[in-house]
Amino acid sequence: MMTRTIAWVDGVNSAVMAHFALMENPDLVIAHCDLGDSVHADSRRFIDDLEAWYGKPIQRLKSNKYATIDDVFEARRYLSGINGAPCTGELKFAPRMDFQLPSDTHLWGYTADKTDAKRFTNMQENYPALKQRAPLVEMGLKKTDTHAILAEHGVRRPYVYEIGMPNGNCLGCVKATSPNYWALIRKHFPDVFARRADQARRFNVRLTRIKGVRTFIDEIPADWPTDMGKRGFGGCGFHCVTS
């Protein structure tokens, strides 16, 4: 039976994880779920740069059914809820299931930060049969460490980090509830904000919370702050799935 170790790369943390994993295992398979125009164009540049850094091709996986998260939202008429977001299921989970083998070991980019390490623990609990590791957790490396390591190697991180985004998720990520995040999207990507606000109204989804009250994003005051601070909501992992 074929045995593979697969490093799933997307943003800064997983990029650094794969760098160290390659040092341990040159035969590592590096895979990336290509979300097309759902992400900023510079995020696609980043994946190309990672190939050059690794000196090894990255296998890009795509949905056979949907090109972007907007395609998923419109087809499902659903944005997000208690069971997660359908975009992850269709654009990440399904392609991964088509690609993976039962014997594979999966490497994730979770860091040793408390909330991130907890997310990995949740993955282990939710998918006990899956062979999986989080090398950065094992190494005790946090998000601040991964960004510093990437800079030390001369790899430019995606543009969205430079404007204050907490991760390299799709623009207008529907798992975000912080009004600061949506105010930031409105400031830098007004077309994305307008599209997500329209979808939220049509599908009756209050994506944000203001003072603990669920609110439509187009109700966020125009002068609302855009500083994310420590309001990060995690990367877009395979755990964020709804049926």
pLDDT value at position 169?
A: 84
Dig out the tokens for 92 from the structure.
């990440």
pLDDT value at position 239?
A: 47
CA distance 145 to 123: 23
Q: Which residues contact 190 (CB under 8 A, 6 or more apart)?
A: none
pLDDT value at position 142?
A: 96
Mean pLDDT by 10 residues, the chain (243 residues): 89 96 96 95 96 97 95 94 84 92 95 92 91 96 96 96 88 93 97 98 95 96 89 51 38
Dig out the tokens for 26 from the structure.
């040159």
Give me the amino acid identity at 119: R
pLDDT value at position 230?
A: 61
Residue 208: count of CB within 10 angstroms of its CB? 22
**Dmax (CA) of the chain:** 59
Dihedral sign from CA coordinates of 158, 163, 167, 172: negative
- Please list the alpha-helical segments (H only) found in the chain: 12-24, 41-54, 69-76, 86-88, 94-99, 114-126, 135-139, 143-152, 159-162, 179-188, 190-202
CA distance 107 to 22: 11
pLDDT value at position 84?
A: 78
Asked if 29 and 59 count as a contact pair (C-beta separation under 8 A), the reply is: yes
pLDDT value at position 85?
A: 86
* Helices and strands, number each (H, E), in the chain: 11, 7
pTM over 0.75: yes
